[in-house]
């Protein structure tokens, strides 16, 4: 019960939207598709994504975050206390609708429940993972025009995110991932940012993962023992595995990024297998999960698929080797009391 094969494979969350979905969204904004038709298109896209994940052999899939344009905006639009003024430039010609906090953060209604239930029903695996953006990242990527400090804002966000996660658990979701790509960007804020994450997952008694990616991992290291998540998954391939040593003392599980999502070159199964063998010199096999560095969203769909498939093929090679050494399964039970 609740066991996965040794070295479970998963994705971080996002997957490229099929071109027809992007067209549907455009038509919807022009008033040429109604709400119901748009919802059906999103549902169809989720089924397509899950089929890709299944075909690639992913053990713990997601719904590809088909309904989310952006990871902060989605939640800011659905919580009380936010308003939007306009777009800010983030990098190159990418623009971001940065939300402003103009009042106390309040929970209005479930944000992810309906999409989680749909994906759970459509999923081939009972261990579907649902992703939710964490309190620090939402606070960091918003303008604070109301709270005395960013810290106060983050802790109020933690409360409403906790309400949402409890609903997901009640609905039968077995793996929840808190996305905190910003948590390691400001050295003097990491200590309380970790407390805010802990607050957001209080009482969540399923597997809890935290995703962090491009930033300064060394800022996290001094506080790792305070983190109450079961698993941290990380971008590592893009850094040529340099940060591995920072996480050797981490007691929980480690999701190792073995696929570079900033590069269109498709890693071969042998390359993935070699990388995993090296990583197993640093981490116990029963504590290792396998994932890409980050969401696959920005890659062309065919490349995203091939990378995912080769990640699984490479993992299967090493999984066989581990089986001969007596390692067969990884338990899904939470490691820590929250």
Chain contacts with Zn ion (rule: CB under 5 A): 181, 213, 294
Please give the angle made by the CA atoms of 22, 27 and 33, to the nearest 5 degrees.
Answer: 115
Cα-based distances in Å from 288 to 187, 259, 298, 331: 27, 15, 26, 11
The CA distance from 94 to 19, in Å, is 19
Of 69 and 225, which has the nearer Cβ to Zn ion? 69
Of 25 and 178, which has the nearer Cβ to Zn ion? 178
Nearest distance in Å: CB 13, Zn ion: 8
Nearest distance in Å: CB 182, Zn ion: 10
Nearest distance in Å: CB 10, Zn ion: 13
Of 46 and 213, which has the nearer Cβ to Zn ion? 213
Of 107 and 214, which has the nearer Cβ to Zn ion? 214
Of 122 and 236, which has the nearer Cβ to Zn ion? 236
Report the candidate in 113, 210, 209, 115 with the shortest Cα–Cα distance to residue 165: 113
First-to-last C-alpha distance (Å) of the chain: 22
| Residue 94 annotated as lining a ligand binding site | no
CB atoms within 10 A of CB 88: 11
Per-position b or e across 65-75, b if 16+ CB within 10 A of its CB? bbbbebbbbbb
Of 212 and 318, which has the nearer Cβ to Zn ion? 212
Nearest distance in Å: CB 185, Zn ion: 13
Q: Give the H/E segment covering residue 10.
A: none
Nearest distance in Å: CB 11, Zn ion: 11
Task: Name the strands in the sheet holding 143-144, side by side, starting at the edge strand that comes first in the sequence.
Answer: 80-91, 94-106, 143-144
Nearest distance in Å: CB 294, Zn ion: 3
| Residue 213 annotated as lining a ligand binding site | yes
> Which residue(s) pair with 177 in the sheet?
131, 209
> Which residue(s) pair with 232 in the sheet?
210, 254
Binding-site annotation, residues for Zn(2+): 211, 213, 294
Binding-site annotation, residues: 211, 213, 294
């Amino acid at each position: 019960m609740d066991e996965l094969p040794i070295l479970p494979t998963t994705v971080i969350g996002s997957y490229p939207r099929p071109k027809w979905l992007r067209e549907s969204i455009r038509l919807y904004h022009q008033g040429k598709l109604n709400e119901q038709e748009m919802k059906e298109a999103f549902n169809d896209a989720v089924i397509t994504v899950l089929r890709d994940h299944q075909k690639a052999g992913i053990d713990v899939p997601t719904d590809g975050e088909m309904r989310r344009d952006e990871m902060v905006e989605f939640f800011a639009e659905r919580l009380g206390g936010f308003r939007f003024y306009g777009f800010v430039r983030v990098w190159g010609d990418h623009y971001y609708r940065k939300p402003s906090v103009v009042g106390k953060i309040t929970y209005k209604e479930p944000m992810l429940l309906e999409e989680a239930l749909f994906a759970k029903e459509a999923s081939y695996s009972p261990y579907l993972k649902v992703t939710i953006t964490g309190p620090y990242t939402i606070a960091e990527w918003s303008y604070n025009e109301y709270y005395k400090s960013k810290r106060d804002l983050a802790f109020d966000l933690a409360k409403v995110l906790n309400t949402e996660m409890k609903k997901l658990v009640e609905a039968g979701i077995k793996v929840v991932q808190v996305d905190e790509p910003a948590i390691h960007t400001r050295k003097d804020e990491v200590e309380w940012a970790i407390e805010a994450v802990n607050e957001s997952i209080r009482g969540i008694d399923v597997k809890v993962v935290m995703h962090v990616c491009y930033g300064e991992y060394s800022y996290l290291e001094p506080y790792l023992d305070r983190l109450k998540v079961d698993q941290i998954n990380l971008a590592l391939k893009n850094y040529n595995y340099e940060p591995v040593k920072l996480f050797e003392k981490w007691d929980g599980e480690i999701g190792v990024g073995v696929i570079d999502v900033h590069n269109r070159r498709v890693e071969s199964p042998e390359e993935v297998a070699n990388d995993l063998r090296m990583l197993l010199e640093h981490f116990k096999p029963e504590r290792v999960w396998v994932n890409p560095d980050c969401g696959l969203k920005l890659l062309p769909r065919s490349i995203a698929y091939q990378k995912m498939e080769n990640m699984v093929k490479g993992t299967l090679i090493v999984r066989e080797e581990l089986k001969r050494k007596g390692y067969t399964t990884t338990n899904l039970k939470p490691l820590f009391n929250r």
